[in-house]
Amino acid sequence: MGLFEKILGIFKKKDVTVETRGTTAPKPDEPEKPAVPERPAPPPTNAIPAERAPVVEGQTSAIPPDEKVPTTAQTDTKEVKPVSDKITAGHVHMSGCTGCEVAIADNYAGLLTLLDKYVDWVYDLTLADVRHIPEMDVALVEGSVCINDKISVEEIRETREKSKIVVALGSCACYGNITRFCRGGQQNQPQHEAYLPIGDLIKVDVYLPGCGPSPQLIKNVCVAAYLLLKGNADQQALATAYLKPLMQAAERGTEACFCDLMIDVIDQGLCIGCGACAAACPVRAITHEYGKPQGQRDLCIKCGACYNQCPRSWFSFDVVSQYEGIMETIDAAMQE
Ligand code: SF4
Ligand code: SF4
């Protein structure tokens, strides 16, 4: 044993720490500091907190069991709309006051249901930014046609060529209505002096008379047109029954006049004195005397309005016998 080992052995027996090269001994009067635990790195600012992170299969969730967080599949669920099954329709504005368009809008929530489920509105100069008449299933034509205006005449013909069903929407389109009185001289279009109902220029499939037509009638006809073009056999039969009188009115067009009303209704004892004919006549050629209509034939312009508005001039067994089924089908379509 060398001298160094002997000296080291003496110090070890006396419990004395020996400082060797490369080590530092703590000072006897300085308390030893506890070890500081390592701090976790802060998360990045855009990181999802662990408790909000989506659960990955096979990984333990940090979400408390009573807290429900929608999964990705639930939040990404999209509304399914049968867009491809819709019919296409549009509003063609001839010479009218836009009152019939307002009647369409007067369906309020019903109009939204129509647009959501059944009808793609592809043309409407007032509402849609489409400048040229497209191909469409149903064209709702408002207003009469100014025959002094070449563009109007071309437009109504183009509408007929591009539409499967043409609907005369309102009394101006059906009978001319107030536009029959136009004799020109308007400040901006003085040459516009003659207007005709659209049925005098093109073949019309359905008449929806009224100034303006009732919103409910417009809605029903749109649903019936959808069922006719897209429905099953039963629905098509009901839609046809509903549309038939309106199609017959379109076929009759402006041919009937007060003389026909006299022959077919009044002289047959069918008149109930309701006054609808007098109210519909645009030239006040009909008055009521003793509860019965009297016509002044020299005033009559043979527009057909009185005959078509008379509730006794037509009778549809189809509509009467199937009325409940028709209405239930239309109501069910609007509530689905
Ligand atoms: S009586 Fe009046 S509503 Fe009837 S066809 Fe003549 S103008 Fe038209
Ligand atoms: S609309 Fe027909 S039922 Fe009514 S008063 Fe005129 S003719 Fe008579």
**Strand (E) or helix (H) holding 157:** helix 150-162
Mean pLDDT of the chain: 82
| AA letter at 322 | Q
Q: Which atom of ligand 2 is nearest to the CA of 276?
A: 1
Q: DSSP string covering 187-219, please?
A: SS-TT---EE-GGGTS--SEEE-SSSPPHHHHH
One DSSP character per residue, 36-75 reads PPPPPPPPPTTPPPGGGSPPPTTS---S-TT-----HHHH
| CA 181 to ligand 1 center in whole angstroms | 13
Residues 6 or more apart whose Cβ sits within 8 Å of residue 199 = 168, 173, 174, 207, 250, 253, 254
Q: Is the peptide bond before 212 cis (omega within 30 degrees of 0)?
A: yes
User: To the nearest whole percent, how much of the chain has pLDDT over 70?
Assistant: 75
Atom of ligand 2 nearest to the CA of 310: 1
* Claim: this prediction has a pTM higher than 0.75: no
- pLDDT by residue (tens digit) across 271-312? 999 999 999 998 899 999 888 999 998 999 899 999 999 999
Q: Please report the domains of the chain, with CATH numbers, ordered by start residue.
A: 86-254+325-335 (3.40.50.700), 258-309 (3.30.70.20)
Ligand nearest to the CA of residue 271, numbered in listed order = 2
> For a pocket test of ligand 2, which of 261, 263, 271 has the largest count of ligand atoms closer than 8 A to its C-beta?
271
Task: Quote the ligand 2 centre to 203 CA distance (angstroms).
Answer: 27
From the DSSP assignment, how many helices (H) and strands (E) are in the chain? 13, 9
Tell me the pLDDT tens digit for each residue of 172-210: 999 998 888 888 877 888 888 899 999 999 999 999 999
Pairwise CA distance, residues 211 & 227, whole Å: 26
